[in-house]
Chains A and B, each alone.
Chain A
């Protein structure tokens, strides 16, 4: 259908978005790359000097770097696992006929609207605190020793908090996908004697693949830069148990105001994020083909 005329017009229409994003990406990126080769601390102006790859070698040889890399992947992977599985189950449930479906749905969506700092504070102090928290209270009520979430399992606790925020998103996308499922096909399968479980495996799951892909892709983008939740709950500790790459970059650029080191860290984070993205594309990208 595309004529030469419309093809040119199409370029023009694409142009603003591409150009704006290009500027948004190129200008700060170029500045960041430039800064990453400088010894440049914001608090000591006039001392900037060429540093070569020093900033990179310091960032990459930071003893916390590999722990942080591992934590980043665990955090992304853990939250994805919980939200995809939990989201599917939730979607299956919400897809059934029930009373007050709209109300249940709004209760389920609600965590998505809460700002990360607030949810982290609420979880840390009102739920997970081993002395005053609700979980401790419930444990004591049944005669158990309260579990010290943020000290004994800091990363898992943060995964739980983040997963709570993203579960609604996954559940809703999967629910929408489920609602578009061909009912007749399901009924036909039921008549043929397929059990609930095999119907789920052979009809529902394949139908959901695309939606799951979308959930994974969008969430990964946001989860790679999780940071407020860590700052509020554990400050990356104890040890480096809950430090991720973004937190390391934060420590460089906004605690030390080491613009050089922070920029190098930022560039490393971008490269890692893109590696993850390419990997994801390879694995699931074909599901996105329209």
Chain B
């Protein structure tokens, strides 16, 4: 038995070490969203151009991915050569010097073609630390037929009051039609992504210039009571546990009148194979309150190279390939324009072919309407639209999210939830040393 175990261990060690000795192998950690999966399938093109580089994919669900790459980069574990990270990680990691600067990508990459809002979110102190693979904002997706039935017309740039009125008129609970579907599941990337972005348009902010939490202010109270009132009157049951996918399913079943969420959802809800309402979907900018900020967020899944990687040159070749204009053309040719990774390059939106996609214009307008370097009405010490780019935010955002989901579920009042959030945030910020 002993020998058998030894043989087994030996064999497995051998297998682990058996990666080809000739070609260099890049290990790429990526999130399992549709656009990345597509990239994985198109790697033959990269292989043809770079026969000496092998690609090894580690595709994971978003939360698991984030947990793994953060642990790895912070401990310098060195398991990955290219990491897929978001606009939340890049400023924090860039500041620590954990990422390789991408300022020296070849001229053919045309870095000036990247959308300014996205590029700004990925740049720290003049260094581009990650190349955007696809970018997204949030916008209103609505049912044209239901809107017509309600006797209303959706403007291109609606106000929150209009959304609330329309939601109430579209709702028909007996027919299981709910005027508005919004995220409610607790989490910094779930309900707090929506609520933080929405709060910006209500003039609210997480912290003032002294890093003091602002949940005791009028602006947050307006945001949260508006959200809770509207969802109670016109939202689906169980909203306090709905995330992106739950809402997507509801909308595709024809049960939502409006849904404010990521722009990437547009291609899912207009795809007749999955969506019962594919031909009835209209788009509009995320709502505002006339205060100069709209309630939409900005996110870009991007490719970064950990500092200390032994394979920086090959990794750069890969990053440049995956985020290039040629790659967009390659996807368009193989899978059609609707499946091109959106939201990264100006040239894509100038392309007349791409302009025929129904949601192309609204996506770019939404992205341009967000400014991660100046997200709020008042001045704030942080960057990030639907998040605060500090390491403490994931935990704090989730804890506050729990309070807000309780307000939505009706287990606490809006005032109580805000008071709890204020206490939580003050505690955490004191502990982390922001509040002296």
Contact = CB atoms under 8 A, between A and B. Distances in A.
B293 to A, nearest CB: 27
Interface stretch (B79-87, B278-286, B401-409): B401-409
Contacts of B63: 231
B412 A239 contact: yes
A149 B394 CA distance: 26
A258 B395 contact: yes
Given A43-B74, A238-B409, A251-B395, A63 B237 contact: no
Interface of A: 39, 41-45, 54, 58, 62-64, 124-125, 129-132, 146, 148, 150-152, 231, 233-241, 243, 251-252, 254-258, 261
Contacts of B190: 235
Interface in B169-190: 176, 185-188, 190
Interface of B: 63, 67, 70-71, 74-75, 92, 96, 176, 185-188, 190, 236-241, 245-246, 249-250, 253, 255, 391-392, 394-396, 398-399, 401-403, 405-406, 408-409, 411-412, 417, 420, 423-424, 427, 431-433
15 contacts: A41-B432, A45-B96, A58-B427, A63-B424, A130-B238, A131-B176, A131-B238, A150-B241, A234-B186, A235-B398, A235-B405, A236-B398, A251-B398, A255-B398, A256-B391
A58 B237 contact: no
Of the listed residues A63, A237, A243, A252, the one surrounded by the most CB atoms of chain B closer than 10 A to its CB is A237
B241 A233 contact: yes
Contacts of A63: 420, 423-424
A150 B242 CA distance: 10
B71 A42 contact: yes
Nearest to A239: B406
Contacts of B431: 54, 58, 261
A252 B395 contact: yes
Contact of B238 (A62, A148, A256, A258): A148
Nearest to A129: B238
Given A43-B92, A131-B255, 7 more contacts: A44-B391, A124-B241, A148-B238, A235-B402, A237-B402, A255-B188, A257-B71
B74 A237 contact: no
A125 B67 CA distance: 24
A146 B402 CA distance: 23
Contacts of A132: 249-250, 253
Contacts of B188: 255
A36 to B, nearest CB: 14
Contacts of A241: 406, 411
Given A64-B399, A148-B238, A256-B391, A45 B74 contact: yes
